[in-house]
Amino acid sequence: MLVEALRPLLGKLDDKVVIVTGASSGIGRETALLFGKLGARVALVARRRKLLEAVAEEVRAAGGRALVAPADVGDARAARAAVASVRRAWRRIDVLVNNAGVLKPGPVANLTEAALDAMLRVNLYGPLFMTQAALPTLLRHPGGSIVNVASLAGRRGLTPLGGYCASKFALVGLSEALRTEYDAAVLHVGLVLPGVVETPMVHDGDSAVDIGDWPAELNMPAEWVAVAIALAVRFRLREVAVPPGAALLEELGALVPGVGDALIGWVSAAGRLFRRARGGHS
């Protein structure tokens, strides 16, 4: 297992206070469990209390301490209340992981105001509200970290993720600006940029989507992203792509946009061929 293989590298976070948003499933759940294994006190933030309670039990079983703080991070008042509950319980905050996310796919021509607003509310305003609420406490103990989970789609736009890309591009810009506002010794601001991850977000409800003809069998485990988040905190990394090197397409696209577009087209075509081949053997 990746976590066990890298455990010596990740170090220990004994009694550090870590807030993880979107902690009820997917990347957030795996991140909370990993920080629990590293000995941290983990505050779990998401909308659904029942799911958070189940994750809290897993964190405790993994060796950490857990606090459930249900909140809709896209609501500024709820975000402040969640952070206040952590502060009352544990008196400090060392790490904030802004992971909560919403995906509502569709072509730009059909993008509705409601869909875009829903994504911006969670993907952009959520990290903003949680950061603003946590900053005063974080800054009392220099050396804290804020890690924002953006996406490779926050560096390169592609269909059918136009609105999602817009929200994640905005989060990248917000994170980079925040990083320039504080000395790195006082506050570390990191970005984690995953590719396509095997989480409920890409399968459930109105966000279920075959992203750019990408075969679902090639989706990354959420554990990979959790490890990237922990490494970003441990080594105060500014930006981590998951898998490593995956951001090369975005960098190439910035230099030569036409080549980036062509590569995305080739990946989509390869995905369609893969699906047909898979279907022929089913």
Active-site amino acid positions: 164
Is pLDDT at 217 greater than 80 in this prediction? no
Q: What is the pLDDT of residue 269?
A: 47
Confidence of residue 243 (pLDDT cuts 50, 70, 90): confident
pLDDT in tens, 244-258: 666 666 665 666 556
Is pLDDT at 242 greater than 60 in this prediction? yes
Q: What is the pLDDT of residue 205?
A: 44
What does the alpha-carbon distance between residue 223 and residue 193 come to, in Å, rounded to a whole number?
14
Mean pLDDT over the full length of the chain:
86
Distance of CA 272 to the CA centre of its chain: 28
Is pLDDT at 263 greater than 60 in this prediction? no
Is pLDDT at 209 greater than 70 in this prediction? no
Q: What is the pLDDT of residue 87?
A: 98
Q: Is the dihedral of CA 167, 174, 245, 26 positive or negative?
A: negative
Label residue 106 exposed, middle or buried (CB < 10 Å: 0-12, 13-18, 19+).
Answer: middle
Least confident window among 20-24, 134-138, 142-146, 261-265: 261-265
Residue 41 bridge partners (DSSP):
17, 65
Q: What is the pLDDT of residue 79?
A: 98
Confidence of residue 260 (pLDDT cuts 50, 70, 90): low
Q: What is the pLDDT of residue 265?
A: 54
What does the alpha-carbon distance between residue 43 and residue 23 come to, in Å, rounded to a whole number?
9
Cβ proximity of 100 and 71 under 8 Å: no
| Assigned token pair, 276 | 């047909």
What does the alpha-carbon distance between residue 97 and residue 149 come to, in Å, rounded to a whole number?
7
pLDDT in tens, 34-71: 999 999 999 999 999 999 999 999 999 999 999 999 99
